[in-house]
A and B are shown apart, each in its own frame.
Chain A
Amino acid sequence: MSAPSTYEAVIGLEVHAQLLTRTKMFCGCSTAFGAAPNTQTCPVCQGMPGTLPVINRRAVEFGIKTALAIGCAPNALNRFARKHYYYPDMPKNYQISQYEEPLAVHGRLDIEVGGAARTVGIERLHLEEDVGKLIHEGALESAQSSNVDFNRAGVPLMEIVSKPDLRSSEEAAAYLKALRAIVIYLGVCDGNMEEGSLRCDANISLRKRGATEFGTKVEIKNMNSFRNVQHALEYEITRQTRALDAGERIVQETRLWDPDKSVTVSMRSKEFAHDYRYFPEPDLTPLGVEATWVDEIRATLPELPAARRRRFIEAYGLSPYEADLLTQSRALADYFEEASEGFPKPKVVANWVLNELLREVPGDDEKALAACRIRPAHLVGLLTLIEDGTISGKIAKDVFEKMYRSGETAQAIVSREGLTQVLDEDILRRAVDQVLREHAKVVEDYKNGKKAARGFLVGQVMKSTQGKGNPAAVNRLLDEKLPKV
């Protein structure tokens, strides 16, 4: 296989985000997840004869909001269009989407890969309706029949198409992460890739480095996580490189990523170029998006992930790694800032949030964070107890867990369980003396060079104080006494 620098990968990503509206794009059915099949449908979203769509204003707002967050200009006029193809999950055998006049065009997203910053262009953002769910009786290849559930049909989707500016699988993953963080921050999508509320398809082609024309592009589908996106693209680059080196032509097709076998597989389909027969949707009016509406929406934009991340590094002195993790969702970033306000040692707060809190709660789950029993004020309370020496850091970790389960304050738990740290040097000195007496053999080992024996002795002292001995003092006293034994 030729050296990696012979070919350049040209990648574009198409992301579909399910919008967090209460109702579907064109009817009043609920979008809630998990209902029994075909119970969240009506004549409109099932495409019954005689029905008509009506646009959900909030979906349009969410689209405009997202467009602004990714630097896209909302079009003064946008229009819905019918996209025709036959498939059993399509109630009308056309999807109401947008074609020549989408909601917004020409934006950009800044990403960082391996320390290098890049700007990725965004071609367009538009709205459309989701399709139903097919459950095949067995594998798709061999299934003799399939079952259709239309609950999902009609759920609002926002499609964001990047320009083919990405040049590596890492960049693709970084772009996807950044875009996901934004839609989560805006509250327009929950970003759940496993459940399918955020989906990603890729278009990838290779060309000789230095060439300006595009190679034949292949569409890749079924990548439902960042890792899968990265691996699938890596595989494709390898596959296409091998083919080109062998003088083969790349077939323009759609391939599915198989995460079990770690390969992309060609989708057998006779219609390799769909004729969607787009025309403007006659049942809907065009949407005139006025500057006043855009301004109203712009005023509701929160501080976006990239800006917040930068501020966390500068204002709080956090590392880029810490800032990345803390800004993965608005809820987590808010949590951190609120806690830091009450306990102005951001590094300490960051440490506890990233290590202890995230052990219990996913950092990008806004709902779970809002419901978490340890509120920022509670964390502040715990950290204060460590700071003023009431408890040791080790004990504090246990207390944290208890706080998470019970919702009590740190103070309440410490008081009730008598976890206050032993600072009294007399008590500690006596404990140390006792341990040194009882474990003379170990002391002997230590003096003979077995360094690990010291750890054992420390452990014994802590045990005799029910873990409440102040570690610093215990160590100091041990160090004082050991040489004298």
Chain B
Amino acid sequence: MAEPKISLKDVEHVARLARLELSEADKERMRRELDSILSYIDKLRALDTEGVEPTAHAIPMTNVMRDDMPRPSLPQEDMLANAPERSGEFFRVPRIIEE
């Protein structure tokens, strides 16, 4: 069997970066699935892309900007209406510093 492309440690690291809590079972399943996908993607390595510019935009354009003209903001209530937790005029979030 080919060498695994991604380890369990990699999965844990990426899950932390992505702020996704994964159970032990999830982690192993995820590792297997990502491994299989990454193996498929590996065929790209065979392609010589020396000197080829990356495509950042499929339809190339430059210099799209707007004037410094004010547009009305949305009312406070509209912006807070979807808040899972609010404190008066603010969005409320739990403790920021980890133990």
Question: Direct A–B touching in the complex (beta carbon < 8 Å)?
Answer: yes
Q: Is B19 an interface residue (CB 8 A)?
A: yes
Q: Is A313 an interface residue (CB 8 A)?
A: no
**CB–CB B89/A36 < 8 A:** yes
| Interface hits, B51-99 → A, CB 8 Å | 56-57, 61-76, 79-80, 87, 89-98
Known A57-B65, A58-B68; further 5 A-B contacts with Cβ < 8 A: A21-B68, A38-B89, A79-B56, A143-B95, A282-B56
Report the separation of the CA atoms of residues A135 and B87 in the bound assembly, to the nearest whole angstrom.
11
0/1 string, A266-288, CB within 8 A of B gives 1: 00101000010100101011111
Minimum distance in angstroms from B99 CB to a CB of chain A:
10
**CB–CB B87/A55 < 8 A:** no
Q: Is A86 an interface residue (CB 8 A)?
A: yes
Report the separation of the CA atoms of residues A36 and B88 in the bound assembly, to the nearest whole angstrom.
11
Report the separation of the CA atoms of residues A109 and B98 in the bound assembly, to the nearest whole angstrom.
41
Residue of A27, A43, A285 with most partner-chain B CB within 10 A: A285
- List, sorted by A's number, 29 A–B pairs whose CB atoms are closer than 8 Å: A21-B68, A23-B69, A23-B71, A27-B71, A29-B71, A29-B73, A37-B89, A38-B80, A38-B91, A41-B74, A42-B71, A42-B79, A43-B74, A46-B79, A55-B66, A56-B65, A56-B68, A57-B68, A134-B96, A140-B97, A144-B95, A145-B93, A145-B94, A148-B93, A268-B98, A285-B57, A285-B64, A286-B56, A287-B65
On chain A, the residues within 8 Å of B63 by CB distance are 285, 287-288
**CB–CB A54/B70 < 8 A:** no
Task: From known contacts A54-B64, A57-B65, A86-B19, infer whether A28 and B70 are also in contact, taking CB-CB under 8 Å.
Answer: yes
Which residues from chain A sit less than 8 Å from chain B, CB to CB?
A: 21-23, 27-30, 36-43, 46, 54-60, 77, 79, 86, 88, 134-136, 140-141, 143-150, 268, 270, 275, 277, 280, 282, 284-288
**CB–CB A30/B70 < 8 A:** yes
Residue of B57, B72, B73, B92 with most partner-chain A CB within 10 A: B73
**CB–CB A147/B91 < 8 A:** yes
Q: Is B2 an interface residue (CB 8 A)?
A: no
On chain A, the residues within 8 Å of B71 by CB distance are 23, 27-29, 42
**CB–CB B91/A268 < 8 A:** no
On chain B, the residues within 8 Å of A148 by CB distance are 90-93
Q: Can you list the 5 inter-chain pairs with the closest CB atoms, starting with the nearest?
A: A28-B71, A147-B90, A58-B68, A57-B65, A37-B89
Minimum distance in angstroms from A51 CB to a CB of chain B:
11
Task: From known contacts A143-B95, A145-B95, infer whether A37 and B64 are also in contact, taking CB-CB under 8 Å.
Answer: no
Contact partner of B79 among A38, A134, A268, CB < 8 A? A38
Task: From known contacts A27-B71, A29-B71, A38-B80, infer whether A56 and B66 are also in contact, taking CB-CB under 8 Å.
Answer: yes
Interface size class of B (residues with CB under 8 A): 20 to 34
**CB–CB A140/B96 < 8 A:** yes
Report the separation of the CA atoms of residues A59 and B73 in the bound assembly, to the nearest whole angstrom.
19
Q: Is B44 an interface residue (CB 8 A)?
A: no
Q: Is B17 an interface residue (CB 8 A)?
A: yes
On chain A, the residues within 8 Å of B80 by CB distance are 38
On chain A, the residues within 8 Å of B97 by CB distance are 140-141, 143, 268
Report the separation of the CA atoms of residues A54 and B66 in the bound assembly, to the nearest whole angstrom.
7
**CB–CB A22/B66 < 8 A:** no
Task: From known contacts A41-B79, A55-B66, A56-B66, infer whether A149 and B90 are also in contact, taking CB-CB under 8 Å.
Answer: yes
On chain A, the residues within 8 Å of B70 by CB distance are 22-23, 28-30
**CB–CB A40/B73 < 8 A:** yes
Task: From known contacts A46-B79, A285-B57, A285-B63, infer whether A145 and B92 are also in contact, taking CB-CB under 8 Å.
Answer: yes
Report the separation of the CA atoms of residues A315 and B96 in the bound assembly, to the nearest whole angstrom.
57
Report the separation of the CA atoms of residues A28 and B75 in the bound assembly, to the nearest whole angstrom.
14
Report the separation of the CA atoms of residues A270 and B17 in the bound assembly, to the nearest whole angstrom.
12
Residue of B57, B75, B79, B92 with most partner-chain A CB within 10 A: B79
**CB–CB A30/B73 < 8 A:** yes
Minimum distance in angstroms from B86 CB to a CB of chain A:
9
Cβ-closest chain A residue relative to B82: A48
On chain A, the residues within 8 Å of B79 by CB distance are 38, 41-42, 46, 150
**CB–CB B73/A143 < 8 A:** no
On chain B, the residues within 8 Å of A145 by CB distance are 87, 92-95
| Interface hits, B14-34 → A, CB 8 Å | 17, 19
Report the separation of the CA atoms of residues A400 and B63 in the bound assembly, to the nearest whole angstrom.
53
Minimum distance in angstroms from B5 CB to a CB of chain A:
19
Minimum distance in angstroms from B7 CB to a CB of chain A:
17
Task: From known contacts A23-B68, A277-B17, infer whether A39 and B73 are also in contact, taking CB-CB under 8 Å.
Answer: yes
Report the separation of the CA atoms of residues A42 and B74 in the bound assembly, to the nearest whole angstrom.
5
Report the separation of the CA atoms of residues A58 and B69 in the bound assembly, to the nearest whole angstrom.
10
Report the separation of the CA atoms of residues A54 and B67 in the bound assembly, to the nearest whole angstrom.
10
Cβ-closest chain A residue relative to B86: A147
Contact partner of B76 among A39, A146, A280, CB < 8 A? A39
On chain B, the residues within 8 Å of A285 by CB distance are 57, 61-64
On chain B, the residues within 8 Å of A277 by CB distance are 17
Cβ-closest chain B residue relative to A151: B73
